[in-house]
């Protein structure tokens, strides 16, 4: 079983864009005077990557460099997440997300060589950036991301003639300061072409960044390597809410344990573990104010919260090589009696694997402390779970698999 790196990177790009839209950051970066207001960020990773790839093409950079730029630009803000979004100190946020992002990349099999590029993606050419390194000491890939990231941030939503002019002037004025003359002049050439701006304006209507700009990686991950990446994301999801502790990690462990006690083969057990680790990955698309609210949700907030499973599906579907994991993870809130969400599937369409994950999710949630109640003990939990089975919500067999495994 192999997972194509191309698909994985596209999927992570979508995830990070959803995450940034849901994050609440509004900061003014002192060294560039750029206002990063993430509420307006939409398709930030994808648009920045498009700009970055145009610059690579304009300068005829070699294939190896293009690959590095593509992946690291798509993932450049991977360090932004979690409950610690409410930074008062801009410098600290910039410093921390560079450092954290590079640490995350270090754990990625096949991508660990990009960690340095992420670390330096807010450096300025003249050395006035966050880590004060300058010129050629800044990896060229980081320099390209810096330029593309800022252009995308100033550009925002559509390229009126005035906005184009403003961006072009801005890049010109910052040549030699924020950006190298080489990169600035490449961008100034690109910016003369209408097609560049039209593509940027219409990026959400087509998949062309993925289709036309993805270098051919010829790289595949083994299931084990994908498991390592899944741990990283389980951690990010768990950290994004202040009171779910190690929910994803625990569901991963539980679903693995049940799978092996049923006697699934090792590959399938690992897949079940991954489905457990990633089942709530769509929560990264949910505004932190809702994820972290410590009183009951309003009807409208609950409505938004429920959509997390839709986003789990959207992100995992893009990976293509794991349709089974995607199905099991995305159906964890479906119920046998059709009263679940988002598809309102019924028993006939819910596989044993989906049913097991649904049981694990409720079991684990009841064990955890919540702001409005303490974690429950096993006796109380199994009473609730039995009742749930009797009322047609959860599957009796799946529940007895859980009991046996425990
Ligand atoms: Fe950044
Ligand atoms: Fe960015
Ligand atoms: Fe969930």
Taking the CA of 94 as reference, the closest ligand is: 1
Taking the CA of 147 as reference, the closest ligand is: 2
User: Which tens digits make up the pLDDT trace of 251-276?
Assistant: 999 999 999 999 999 999 999 999 99
Taking the CA of 44 as reference, the closest ligand is: 2
| All residues at 6 or more sequence positions from 216 whose CB lies less than 8 Å from its CB, including other chains | 6
pLDDT of 149 above 60: yes
Task: Name the pLDDT band for 191 (thresholds 50, 70, 90).
Answer: very high
Name the token pair of 1: 């079983």
Distance CA 321, CA 287 (A): 29
Report the separation in Å between the CA atom of 362 and the middle of ligand 3, taken as the mean of its atom positions.
9
Report the separation in Å between the CA atom of 75 and the middle of ligand 2, taken as the mean of its atom positions.
9
Distance CA 270, CA 322 (A): 12
Distance CA 247, CA 253 (A): 10
Distance of CA 234 to the CA centre of its chain: 11
User: Which tens digits make up the pLDDT trace of 82-134?
Assistant: 544 455 567 888 899 999 999 999 998 889 999 999 999 999 999 999 999 99
pLDDT of 32 above 60: yes
pLDDT at res. 399: 98
Residue pair 252/276 in contact (Cβ under 8 Å)? The answer is: yes
Taking the CA of 47 as reference, the closest ligand is: 2
Cis peptide before 321 (omega within 30 of 0): no
Task: Name the pLDDT band for 19 (thresholds 50, 70, 90).
Answer: confident
Distance CA 393, CA 292 (A): 27
Neighbours of ion ligand 1 (CB under 5 A): 77
Distance of CA 295 to the CA centre of its chain: 26
Distance CA 94, CA 106 (A): 19
Name the token pair of 87: 């930074």
Report the separation in Å between the CA atom of 41 and the middle of ligand 3, taken as the mean of its atom positions.
25
Neighbours of ion ligand 3 (CB under 5 A): 280
- What backbone torsions phi and psi does residue 29 show, to the nearest 5 degrees? -80, 120
Report the separation in Å between the CA atom of 97 and the middle of ligand 2, taken as the mean of its atom positions.
10
pLDDT of 209 above 90: no
Taking the CA of 100 as reference, the closest ligand is: 1
Residue pair 18/45 in contact (Cβ under 8 Å)? The answer is: no
Report the separation in Å between the CA atom of 21 and the middle of ligand 2, taken as the mean of its atom positions.
12
| Residue-by-residue DSSP string for 339-359 | --SSS---GGG--HHHHHHHH
User: Which tens digits make up the pLDDT trace of 172-187?
Assistant: 999 999 999 999 999 9
Question: Stretch 60-87: mean pLDDT, rounded?
Answer: 83
pLDDT at res. 39: 56
Report the separation in Å between the CA atom of 80 and the middle of ligand 1, taken as the mean of its atom positions.
8
pLDDT at res. 26: 72
pLDDT at res. 129: 94
pLDDT at res. 275: 98
Question: Stretch 378-394: mean pLDDT, rounded?
Answer: 97
Q: The pTM is what?
A: 0.90
Overall residue count recorded for the chain in this entry: 406
| Residue-by-residue DSSP string for 146-182 | HHHHHHHHHHTT---HHHHHHHHHHHHHTBTTTB-HH
Taking the CA of 148 as reference, the closest ligand is: 2
pLDDT at res. 83: 45
Q: CA nearest 330: which of 320, 316, 340, 344? A: 316
Report the percent of the chain where pLDDT is more than 70. Answer: 95
Report the separation in Å between the CA atom of 400 and the middle of ligand 3, taken as the mean of its atom positions.
21
Question: Stretch 288-317: mean pLDDT, rounded?
Answer: 93
Burial zone of 146 (CB within 10 Å; 0-12 exposed, 13-18 middle, 19+ buried): buried
Question: Which residue bears the tokens 């590959």?
Answer: 267
Distance CA 217, CA 63 (A): 10
Report the separation in Å between the CA atom of 149 and the middle of ligand 2, taken as the mean of its atom positions.
5
pLDDT of 34 above 90: no
Instruction: Report which of residues 206 and 142 the model is more confident about.
Output: 142
């Amino acid at each position: 079983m192999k997972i194509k790196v191309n698909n994985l990177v596209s999927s992570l790009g979508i995830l990070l864009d959803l995450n940034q839209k849901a994050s609440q950051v509004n900061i003014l970066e002192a060294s560039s005077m750029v206002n990063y207001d993430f509420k307006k960020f939409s398709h930030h990773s994808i648009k920045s990557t498009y700009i970055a790839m145009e610059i690579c093409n304009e300068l005829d950079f070699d294939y190896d460099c293009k690959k590095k730029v593509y992946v690291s630009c798509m993932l450049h803000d991977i360090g932004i997440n979690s409950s610690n979004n409410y930074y008062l100190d801009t410098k600290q946020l910039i410093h921390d997300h560079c450092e954290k992002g590079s640490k995350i990349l270090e754990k990625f099999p096949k991508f660990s060589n990009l960690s340095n590029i992420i670390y330096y993606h807010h450096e300025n050419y003249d050395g006035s950036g966050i880590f004060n390194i300058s010129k050629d000491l800044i990896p060229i890939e980081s320099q390209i991301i810096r330029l593309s990231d800022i252009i995308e941030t100033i550009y925002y939503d559509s390229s009126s003639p005035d906005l184009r002019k403003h961006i072009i002037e801005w890049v010109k004025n910052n040549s030699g300061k924020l950006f190298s003359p080489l990169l600035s002049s490449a961008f100034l050439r690109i910016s003369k072409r209408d097609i560049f701006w039209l593509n940027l304006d219409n990026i959400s209507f087509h998949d062309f960044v993925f289709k036309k700009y993805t270098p051919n990686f010829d790289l595949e991950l083994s299931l084990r390597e994908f498991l390592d990446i899944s741990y990283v994301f389980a951690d990010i999801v768990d950290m994004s809410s202040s009171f779910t502790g190690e929910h994803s990690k625990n569901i991963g462990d539980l679903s693995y344990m049940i799978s092996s006690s049923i006697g699934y083969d090792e590959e399938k057990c690992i897949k079940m573990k991954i489905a457990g680790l990633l089942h709530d990955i769509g929560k990264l698309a949910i505004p932190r104010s809702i994820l972290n609210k410590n009183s009951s949700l309003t009807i409208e907030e609950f409505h938004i919260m429920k959509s997390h499973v839709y986003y789990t599906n959207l992100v995992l579907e893009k990976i293509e090589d794991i349709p089974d994991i995607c199905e099991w993870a995305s159906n964890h809130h479906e119920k046998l009696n059709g009263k679940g969400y988002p598809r309102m599937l019924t028993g006939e369409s819910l596989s044993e694997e989906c049913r097991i994950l649904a049981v694990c999710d409720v079991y684990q949630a009841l064990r955890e402390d919540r702001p409005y109640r303490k974690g429950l003990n096993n006796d109380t939990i199994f009473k609730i779970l039995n009742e749930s089975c009797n009322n047609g919500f959860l599957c009796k067999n799946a529940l007895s698999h859980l009991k046996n495994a425990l």
